[in-house]
Amino acid sequence: MRTPMMAGNWKMNCDLDEAAALAQGVVEGVGSVEGVAVVLAPPFTALDRVASVIAGSNVRLSAQNVYWQAKGAYTGEISVGMLKSCGCAYVIVGHSERRGRFGVPEPDMTDELIRVFGDTDAAVNTKARAALAGGLTPIICVGETLAEREAGLTDAIVRDQVVAALEGMTPEQIGAVVLAYEPVWAIGTGETCEADEANRVIGVIRAAIDSVAGAGAAQDITVLYGGSVKPKSVRELVSQPEIDGGLVGGASLEADSFNELVAVTREVRG
């Protein structure tokens, strides 16, 4: 049995008071929900504050990124141990806004090509392994760009990203990760991937997991869909057999809409 999950990725939004108020709204709405993992990923600066707000509830804390070294001369970076000390249970790794297949953007690059932070597949793998070694659950994001989809490369890109992200992990470690299929063209655009297509690609992800960890390994792994998940689209998405929940940006920035996503997931999958 897989645990359904609804995770709010707040990205670079919310100062301390805004973060506390948003977390409070989630705790009041869905803080005692069972059968769905409810996860909030505030910016680093608000982790500690949000941890205090969600204490005693069923809501869990995630960071949006991590560095793999434990400590040292890595200006601007944050370690697994630091995140644990803030109360994190999860960390997002490999979000498309952090990957960097296109390198440093030129001023005239389209949004789709702006992947400014340079995380390679190898960096995503190293971060995910460091998270697991330190007791955090990585939420590993994969997904194709619009150009890759139009070129018919979706399945190959997604498969390669999954295999690269899981490289060197034991089957037990692979069993502990969460994956998120996030087609880049659907993130922040209001354009949700068709539910049956998201379901199909997540099937490709599960086949890739099985190819690395052995037949049947994927059946217990939570795989989310992300990319413009909204209250109006969530029911169809989480009704798909392969989709275990959502990784949500925009619709997680208001407690009412995020709570509705959790409630629908609970109703359909809980």
The residues that are catalytic are 95, 182
CA 153 to chain centre: 22
What SS3 class is residue 176?
Answer: helix
Residue 9 interacts with ligand PGA (CB under 6 A)? yes
Least Å from the CB of residue 127 to ligand PGA: 16
Nearest-CB residue to ligand PGA? Answer: 249
Which residue matches tokens 């702006």?
114
Burial of 8: CB neighbours in 10 Å, binned 0-12, 13-18, 19+: buried
- Residue 54's H or E segment, with its range, is helix 47-54
Residue 248 interacts with ligand PGA (CB under 6 A)? yes
Residue 243 interacts with ligand PGA (CB under 6 A)? no
Site residues for ligand PGA, window 44-83 (CB under 6 A)? Answer: none
Q: Where are the beta strands (DSSP E) in 183-232?
A: 223-226
What tokens appear for 207 in the block?
């086949």
Least Å from the CB of residue 9 to ligand PGA: 4
Query: How many other CB atoms are there within 10 angstroms of residue 112's CB atom?
Result: 15
- 192-231 footprint of ligand PGA as x/- string (CB under 6 A): ----------------------------------xxxx--
| Dist CA 193 CA 197 (whole Å) | 7
CA angle 29/179/69 to nearest 5° reads 100
Residue 154 interacts with ligand PGA (CB under 6 A)? no
Which residue matches tokens 């941890």?
51
Least Å from the CB of residue 256 to ligand PGA: 15
Residue 40 interacts with ligand PGA (CB under 6 A)? no
Residue 143 interacts with ligand PGA (CB under 6 A)? no
Least Å from the CB of residue 81 to ligand PGA: 25
Which residue matches tokens 């992300």?
226
* Cα torsion angle, 51, 266, 231, 260, sign: negative
> What is the residue type of 69?
Q
Give the chain's end-to-end CA distance (angstroms, integer): 11
> Is 185 or 212 the residue whose CB approaches ligand PGA more closely?
185
Least Å from the CB of residue 92 to ligand PGA: 8
Residue 137 interacts with ligand PGA (CB under 6 A)? no
The stretch among 60-68, 165-173, 181-189, 255-263 that binds ligand PGA (CB under 6 A) is 181-189
Of 250, 258, 260, 262, the residue at the interface with ligand PGA (CB under 6 A) is: 250
Q: Which residues bind ligand PGA (CB under 6 A)?
A: 9, 182, 187-188, 226-229, 247-251
